[in-house]
A and B are shown apart, each in its own frame.
Chain A
Amino acid sequence: MEEPMEKKSRLDVAVLNPSTCIKDKRISCVLGDEYAANKDAVGLVKGLAVTLTSKKYASQVLKHLTEYLPLEGLQHLKRVRSVKTHDGDKLQVLMFVATLHEDFMDLNKTLNIKEIKPVKDFIMDPMFVAIPIKPPLTRDQFNICKQYWPVSFHEDKKISKLLLCSLFADDDMDRIEENMDLAIETARIGKKFDPRCDQGVVIVDPATNTIISTAFDMRNMECEIKDGYFARHPLNHAVMVAIDLVARSQGGGTYTYKPFLKSNSKINDGLYFNSTLPTSARNTSDTSDKGYYICTGLDVYVTKEPCIMCSMALLHSRVRCVFYGVSRPGGGLGSAFKLHARKDLNHRFEVFCNVLKSKCQVL
């Protein structure tokens, strides 16, 4: 089964994923769904609030609630807000949250429970309110939360920078686009062998900006599988080839990629691995399991969003960061899944899209 050819009128990843930044034209960050600026991400649950008969009881009531009905694990929630009533400005107090106090979520009975008795005379008008159960992770989420109930917000500077796409200085951006240009060029070389090739990959060591490997989509090209047997391998996606060539650069690797891989391959040959690295260069602690995860610390440039197989292959290889040009249906780093941002998988990495998007799109 082949990945379908891209349609030019495909939706932008930013439209598919509201959490994706669209502010900067040069690059966008693909964050996990928990950063999305929508109601789902802040998680609204039912709360029960009451109005104070007079503001002067506020400290007394709050002191009582803090002691007897603390909102455990919900430190982002403020307990009081001011509301306008026909009787003038009043204070409204959050008494219960459904996730903590399921038994008390009853407008008629709730004021008669024993925990409330000591302050019962100071409160009135119990009503249900919507409570954002998760602390806001971004300023946009903070603004959404505030529409429902006041919360506190501790800004994560790195996330804000990612959202604003201001993490990279101009010369970083130039370097990123240079590497993507090489990925595009690599795909074009592949196209000479088969017109269906639309994927080029470049794997880089960001510490030294050294190219470790380059590869194109080889699914429709006959190359050596093993021991002189040549065939079109349905799993020879560009990313898989590039990962194997990184292994090759470290003295490992599975395939010869004959006749496409030249013995003294150069960076502009399409298929390339860096043969000048000392084999133990990046894996000093041979007793740890890091030795298997050969792409630890490496950055990957890929013209189109990797499919789910390739996305997981990158995760298994422990890459540092992935940059891609255009998203595609079924993609594993933003479209169908966001494998890089899942807490239930054992490695997370950053993903940026829309790098040289229009150039990648026409491949």
Chain B
Amino acid sequence: MMDNGNICETSSNISNWMESAFKYAEEALEHGEVPVGCVIVHKDTKVIGTGRNKVNETKNATRHAEMVAIDDAMCNMKTDNILEVFSESALYVTVEPCIMCAASLRSIGIQTIYYGCKNERFGGCGSVLHIHTDEALTASTGQPLQCKSGYYSERAVKLLKSFYKQENPNVTLPSVRQ
């Protein structure tokens, strides 16, 4: 596991992509939304979609950053074969995708997910359920999804904490567990 910028993957771009994901998480915070942000990157070269939480804005509890970014990528690419594009793309997100988002990302065939901190409450990539790899879902939801975690997780937790503190000082905070 990597943390705090000690990234030693062959792709030196990971930290750059994560940095942009954080930009959208911070934007979410400014808009009074749970601070989660993400970017979808095609072939490790180009950001094709970005997203931040819009649950409040849309009054729709399913408008998580990942769902917003998927729509954004569809509108930017305007292709009839968006699934092929997704199969060549990675998602960089500040917090582990929830069960819903993990299922949706797996079903559209995203190649790899890179995420920051764990999502102890809803995490679908190992924290609560293993939606990304569960074999019982292959027939209905597609091939397993590769996940890599621990990128700047403390920074992601700090952002979440600053949100929940202003919302409700008594809430149980997500912890960084690797």
Contacts and interface: CB of A to CB of B under 8 A. Distances in A.
Interface stretch (B15-23, B36-44, B53-61, B153-161): B53-61
A227 interface: yes
A346 B109 contact: no
Interface stretch (A23-31, A42-50, A232-240, A261-269): A232-240
A325 to B, nearest CB: 17
Contacts of B139: 4, 329-330
Contact of B59 (A3, A294, A337): A294
A291 B107 CA distance: 29
Contacts, number: 126
B8 interface: no
Given A235-B107, A309-B100, A344-B128, A4 B60 contact: no
B71 A225 contact: yes
A287 B75 CA distance: 34
Interface in A312-363: 312-313, 316-318, 328-331, 336-337, 339, 342, 344-346
Interface string B49-87: 000001111111111000100110011001000110000
Contacts of B67: 235
A160 interface: no
A240 B61 contact: no
B75 A336 contact: no
Interface stretch (A141-149, A181-189, A249-257): A249-257
Nearest to B131: A308
B70 A235 contact: yes
A17 to B, nearest CB: 13
Nearest to B120: A344
Contacts of B89: none
Contacts of B104: 235, 309
Given A235-B70, A294-B61, A307-B103, 15 more contacts: A225-B74, A226-B75, A233-B71, A234-B107, A244-B58, A247-B58, A252-B57, A254-B63, A307-B107, A308-B99, A308-B141, A309-B100, A309-B107, A316-B98, A336-B134
The 4 closest A-B pairs by CB, nearest first: A330-B140, A252-B59, A312-B100, A309-B103
